[in-house]
């Protein structure tokens, strides 16, 4: 393998490139003689910036072109943010590894206010995440939520131009870009439950490429895999993407895993929460059980409104 050039498909955004360089560094620490070639790709989601993700097909828009590169043998592996990777993976492909998770939480970024509690009534908050919007409106219904798309630097620039009083961004994205100093508040999970897989990097490859699977399996971080598998099991059972607010977050401590899940309506009028605690090897079972509980308690109705009426505000 070390005599072969490893082609890595990645999005062209600064954050995606930083994540790819992180994986590249990990690989070279294991295989110093490895030759690596980056294959930068612009995805459909990167090109559409004037519409919210929920209305143009969801986060899967950020991976389609990378998957095509794998299927057409133009790349050997693809690097993704785990929160962008759909729970159902293209059948010819597989998720080889999940790297050790960084900070999974959302953050408040503001030039004038220290926390969500310090925001004045009527403050304008930028985010295009229905998950974040739903939870924020429930906690502070007096705030005004305005759509915000673009890469991290573009979003921060709009904040600095005075278009928003604050914006909500993922903590680990800011960390990887060297922008930790822009974080005003780490938002606790009790206020903003993270997205499934948030803070972790996933590596995808062709299912039949057994040598590649063995070669890259060493990058797997077992605790992170256990946590994210539980989170993804919850989301997969719901069979829903980012068109409705869904949060799932698992913490593994010793032999116990604590899984929390959330389903809501975009306007925050309905928020359903639940949790499970169990042994580390029951995470996926817990995810299914928790999803079934929320479906029985009203999540099914939210999903039906989405699929039947294409209604984002029920």
Identify whether 266 is part of a domain: yes
Indicate whether 42 and 152 sit together in one domain.
no
73 contacts: CB under 8 Å, gap ≥ 6:
none
- Is 84 a residue of the active site? yes
Q: 283: closest CA among 305, 260, 265?
A: 260
Considering the domain boundaries, does residue 192 fall inside one? no
Domain total of the chain: 3
Asked whether residue 205 falls in the same domain as residue 70, the answer is yes
Asked if residue 313 lies in contact with residue 265, where contact means CB atoms within 8 angstroms, the answer is yes
Question: 193 lies in a domain?
Answer: no
In a domain, 228, yes or no: no
Tell me: do 240 and 293 sit in the same domain.
yes
Q: What pLDDT does 42 receive?
A: 86
299 domain residue, yes or no? yes
93 plus 112 within the same structural domain: no
Rg (CA), the chain: 19
Together in a domain, 49 and 64: yes
Tokens representing 197 are 């897989």
Is residue 225 a part of any domain in this protein? no
Distances (CA, A) of 59 to 46, 54, 93, 130: 10, 8, 18, 12
The whole domain housing 121 covers: 106-187
Does the pLDDT at position 149 exceed 80? Answer: yes
Do 168 and 141 share a structural domain? yes
Which CATH number do you get for residue 131? 3.40.190.10
What is the average pLDDT across 109-122?
Answer: 98
> What pLDDT does 223 receive?
97
Same domain, 162 and 85: no
Q: One of 76, 84, 165, 209 is an active-site residue; which one?
A: 84
Same domain, 182 and 297: no
Nearest Cα neighbor of 101 from 231, 3, 223 is 223
Measured at the alpha carbon of residue 307, what is the angle toward residues 304 and 311, in degrees to the nearest 5? 85
Answer yes or no: do 19 and 95 share one domain. Answer: yes
Query: Tens digit of pLDDT for each residue in 181-223?
Result: 999 999 999 999 999 999 999 999 999 998 888 889 999 999 9
pLDDT for residue 32: 93
Q: Is the pLDDT of residue 62 over 50?
A: yes
This prediction's pTM: 0.90
Q: Are residues 13 and 96 in the same domain?
A: yes
* Residue 56 confidence (pLDDT) above 50: no
Average pLDDT over residues 215-240: 93
Residue 241 lies in a domain: yes
Least confident of 76-85, 90-99, 210-219, 292-301: 210-219
Helix (H) or strand (E) holding 28: helix 14-30
Answer yes or no: are the C-beta atoms of 107 and 174 closer than 8 Å.
yes
The reply to whether 137 and 281 lie within a common domain is: no
Please check whether residues 71 and 215 belong to one and the same domain: yes
Residue 128: per-residue pLDDT: 87
Is the confidence at residue 224, as pLDDT, over 90? yes
Q: Is residue 9 part of a domain?
A: yes
Query: Residue 44's pLDDT band (boundaries 50, 70, 90)?
Result: low
Task: Give pLDDT, residue 194.
Answer: 97
């Amino acid at each position: 393998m070390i005599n072969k050039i490893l082609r890595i498909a990645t999005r062209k955004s600064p954050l995606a490139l930083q994540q790819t360089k992180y994986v590249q560094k990990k690989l070279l620490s294991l295989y110093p003689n490895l030759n690596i070639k980056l294959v930068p790709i612009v995805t459909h989601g990167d090109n559409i910036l004037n519409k919210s993700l929920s209305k143009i097909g969801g986060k899967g828009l950020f991976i389609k072109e990378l998957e095509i590169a794998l299927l057409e043998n133009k790349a050997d592996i693809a690097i993704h943010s785990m929160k962008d990777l759909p729970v159902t993976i293209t059948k010819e492909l597989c998720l080889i590894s999940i790297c050790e998770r960084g900070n999974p939480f959302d953050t408040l970024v503001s030039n004038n206010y220290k926390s969500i509690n310090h925001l004045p009534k009527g403050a304008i908050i930028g985010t295009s995440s229905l998950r974040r919007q739903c939870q924020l409106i429930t906690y502070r219904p007096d705030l005004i939520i305005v759509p915000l798309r673009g890469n991290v630097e573009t979003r921060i620039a709009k904040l600095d131009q005075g278009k928003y009083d604050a914006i909500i961004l993922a903590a680990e994205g800011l960390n990887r870009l060297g922008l930790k100093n822009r974080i005003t508040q780490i938002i606790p999970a009790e206020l903003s439950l993270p997205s499934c897989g948030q803070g972790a990097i996933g590596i995808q490859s062709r299912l039949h490429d057994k040598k590649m699977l063995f070669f890259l399996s060493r990058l797997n971080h077992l605790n992170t895999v256990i946590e994210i598998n539980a989170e993804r099991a919850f989301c997969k059972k719901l069979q829903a993407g980012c068109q409705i607010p869904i949060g799932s977050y698992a913490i593994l401590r010793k032999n116990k895993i604590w899984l929390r899940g959330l389903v809501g309506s975009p306007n925050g009028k309905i928020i359903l929460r639940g949790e499970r605690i169990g042994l580390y090897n029951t995470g996926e079972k817990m995810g299914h059980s928790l999803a079934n509980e929320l479906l029985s308690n009203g999540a099914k109705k939210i999903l039906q409104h989405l699929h039947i009426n294409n209604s984002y505000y029920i």
